[in-house]
Amino acid sequence: MESPTLTENRPYTVPPFAKECLEAAGEAWHAAHDHAFVQALADGSLDSDRFRFYQMQDARYLEAFADATSIISTRCTDPDDKLWFIEAAQMAVVVEQELHAGYGEELGYDADDVAQLELTPNNRAYQNHMIASAHTGSLVEAVAAITPCPWLYVDLGQQLEAEMGEVPESHPYAEWLEMYRDPAFNEYMDHLLERLHRFAVAADPAARERAKELFVLSVRYEWMFWDQSWTKQEWPV
């Protein structure tokens, strides 16, 4: 039986090139959904130290996501595309600030702690991958590298909603689970995947292949982001 994450049954449109990217990511997409960190987050058994580690690293990750989408905006010629990526960048910063205002108070860290945090190897590698793709890739490559970030989380949020139903108020990570099942993301996904597809159609076949590779790498980095939070990754030397 085909896994629910690869069916057509999503509440937003998945145009052909986005579908090709998803199919190319295949196993890594599922592995990211199935990671022990995600399982523990969903069933509420995740310890707060690991969650804190994740949130602090993620605050910095979202700043890099905002940088990547800002750079992409400068490379768009169509004013609607430009504005959409500017807004995506703004939203990432706003979400990041809200997250660490809320979780920071609860988990005991503030904006200075986030600013001074040493990035893990995996986080740094993922950020550099997005930023490098935004600077040096063609437009479709730049967008392909940032697409798994929202897509994987929205997919995960909706899958967990289907499996778990309503999140009980007593769930320690209710707020996180509620956030990524928000139906407002469906419109965001429609807009992003439509652009990914349109830029792919305008690109040459070699650029499309490279874009798919960059998409798959970002899915792998998503798995590695859960993993670095699960193991509390440190630099080996």
Ligand X SMILES: Cc1ncc(CO)c(N)n1
Query: Which residue numbers are catalytic?
Result: 222
Q: Is 173 in the site for ligand X (CB under 6 A)?
A: no
Would you mind telling me the total number of residues written for the chain in this entry?
237
Q: Is 37 in the site for ligand X (CB under 6 A)?
A: no
Q: Which of 21, 76, 145, 149 binds ligand X (CB under 6 A)?
A: 149
Distance CA 110, CA 65 (A): 20
Q: Would you say 17 or 151 has its CB closer to ligand X?
A: 151
Choices 17-25, 39-47, 58-66, 185-193 (CB under 6 A): range interacting with ligand X: 58-66
Distance CA 36, CA 51 (A): 13
Q: Is 225 in the site for ligand X (CB under 6 A)?
A: yes
State the DSSP string of 80-131: HHHHHHHHHHHHHHHHHHHHHHHHHHHHT--HHHHHHPPPPHHHHHHHHHHH
Subset of residues 98 to 117 that bind ligand X, contact rule: CB under 6 A: none
| Phi, psi of 65, rounded to the nearest 5 degrees | -60, -40
Count the residues of the shown chain that bind ligand X, applying the rule CB under 6 A: 8
CB of residue 97 vs ligand X: minimum separation in angstroms? 13
SS3 3: coil
State the number of CA atoms in the 13 A half-sphere of 2 facing the CB.
8
Q: Is 222 in the site for ligand X (CB under 6 A)?
A: yes
Q: Which of 41, 62, 130, 203 binds ligand X (CB under 6 A)?
A: 62
Contact 189, 154 (CB under 8 A): yes
Q: Would you say 119 or 203 has its CB closer to ligand X?
A: 119
Q: Is 58 in the site for ligand X (CB under 6 A)?
A: yes
CB of residue 17 vs ligand X: minimum separation in angstroms? 20
Residues lying near ligand X in the complex (CB under 6 A): 58, 61-62, 149-150, 153, 222, 225
